[in-house]
Amino acid sequence: MKTRTLGKNGLEVSALGLGCMGMSFSYAPFPEKADMVKLIRDAFDLGVTFFDTAEVYGPFVNEELVGEALEPFKGRAKIATKFGFRMKPDGSAGYAGLDSSPTRIRAVAEASLKRLRVEAIDLFYQHRVDPAVPIEDVAGAVGDLVREGKVKHFGLSEAGAGTIRRAHSVHPVAALQSEYSLWHRKPEAEIIPALEELGIGFVPFSPLGKGFLTGKIDDKTTFDKSDFRNVVPRFTPEARKANQALVDLLTKVAGAKKATPAQVALAWLLAQKPWIVPIPGTTKLSRLEENIGATTLTLDAKDLKEIDEAAAMIQIQGDRYPAHLQKLVGR
């Protein structure tokens, strides 16, 4: 697989990464750990070198999974993980608030290093902006960890353009991770121009719309009772029915390209900028192989123009987060 570079300090990764969250968090029921270890190793064998996890996924168990799976590939696989949430005292799923204090950042880094079985974290994101801690203090704390050799690169997740600029002025930001796809294009207004100006990479999560853009979900689909999508406004049956028009567009283009809707959605993202690295998640080898196939699908200027013109006529229904989570993004 071809590689791409995130930021200006040489973080080179595969053009497509693998989001590992769903292997143990948010999208129950979860597969057996041994199966996911194998899937992560299969991904590496297929050319994926960029893997995404976080302390809060589980909590902790996702980092442990990724650490075990990638231990044989030390120095060749790049792992991104995140800090910024305060865990519940009883260790249960979810979080008890935000905490990006320098002391907390250092404690998370030390614990993540052990769970990931590495000497340095390749990319350390602030998971969500903490309004109680100046972003300059956050960037300074991660900068200290970089100078100590415990972290290689600093990242932000779901941050606003102003916050990105302030953080970058203290310590170079290698990448921003935020949602971006054909059904969430808000980053095009302010975020992508800011990233381009500053030389920061973009790592879109949910590049397949939490599975919706694959064409395998419709208004009749039901989810496990603990599946996160049950509380997402964009996944109400009514919204799914209305948003089917976007899937129909992808299906039409896919037919002409002898591809799948998911591959077209990912190829569209890859075509936007050479410093965009999507991280679709999956628990199935067949889907992994399908997603990787997008890296060899070429959409030319005419294809992109037709997709953009058709997509502009579709009004996407439903917010991408419930209200209590929506307030955490874009700060």
> What are the residue numbers of the active site?
57
Taking the CA atoms of 202, 205, 208 and 212 in sequence, report the sign of the dihedral they define.
negative
DSSP 88: P
Q: What does the alpha-carbon distance between residue 116 and residue 312 come to, in Å, rounded to a whole number?
A: 42
DSSP assignments along 152-220, one per residue: S-EEEES--HHHHHHHHHHS-EEEEEEE-BTTB-GGGTTHHHHHHHHT-EEEEESTTGGGGGGT---TT
Q: What does the alpha-carbon distance between residue 295 and residue 1 come to, in Å, rounded to a whole number?
A: 7
The secondary structure of the chain in percent helix, strand, coil, rounded to multiples of 5, reads 45, 15, 40
Structure tokens at 45: 């064998």
Residue 178's nearest CA partner among 197, 161, 199 is: 161
Residue 203's nearest CA partner among 80, 69, 98, 316 is: 80
Does residue 97 sit in helix, strand or coil? Answer: coil
